[in-house]
Amino acid sequence: MSRRLGHLEQSILAALKLRSGLSPILSTSEIARHIFGAGASRSQIISLRRALSSLVRKKLIEPKPSGPRGENTWQRRAIHQRKVHYENRPDLTRLAKLLGMCGSQHQGERDAAALAIERERKRLGGNWLQILRVRT
């Protein structure tokens, strides 16, 4: 599972962005209309609710008291309330699992692990000595 924001999560944050004169608080149905248009399907609404829950867990949005129809409303958290963005830190647990996969008996699994490790290095920037801060 990716630790980065997905397309739907990014669309939700864009919908909740403070715009000139408009309220930054939107209901679930208003967000759905903004992203999917007037005719959102049941599966799209379920995906939207899952993405909203994910953003709450990541502390990027917060639920507000229910709207007039008893519907959940949402607001972006203020920048000073957000946690430090973690995307540029190495995920050592994931890296340890990937390194363990390099010892697999299956060639495809070893190749996939090596590619995933290299993608992680590129995402973080620099070389492994810089990333892991190993003293030589």
Residues 110, 113: Cα–Cα separation, whole Å: 5
Q: State yes or no: pLDDT of 1 exceeds 60.
A: no
- Asked if residue 68 lies in contact with residue 109, where contact means CB atoms within 8 angstroms, the answer is no
pLDDT at residue number 85: 45
pLDDT mean across residues, the chain = 79
Find out whether 74 and 13 touch, Cβ atoms under 8 Å: no
pLDDT in tens, 29-76: 888 888 888 888 889 989 999 999 988 888 888 888 775 666 788 888
Look at residue 119 in the predicted model and tell me its pLDDT: 86
Tell me what pLDDT residue 84 has.
41
Count CB neighbours of 55 within 10 A: 22
Domains and their CATH numbers in the chain: 7-81 (1.10.10.10), 92-132 (no CATH)
| pLDDT tops 80 at residue 83 | no
Which pLDDT does position 82 carry in this prediction? Answer: 42
Query: How far, in Å, CA of 78 to CA of 62, rounded?
Result: 10
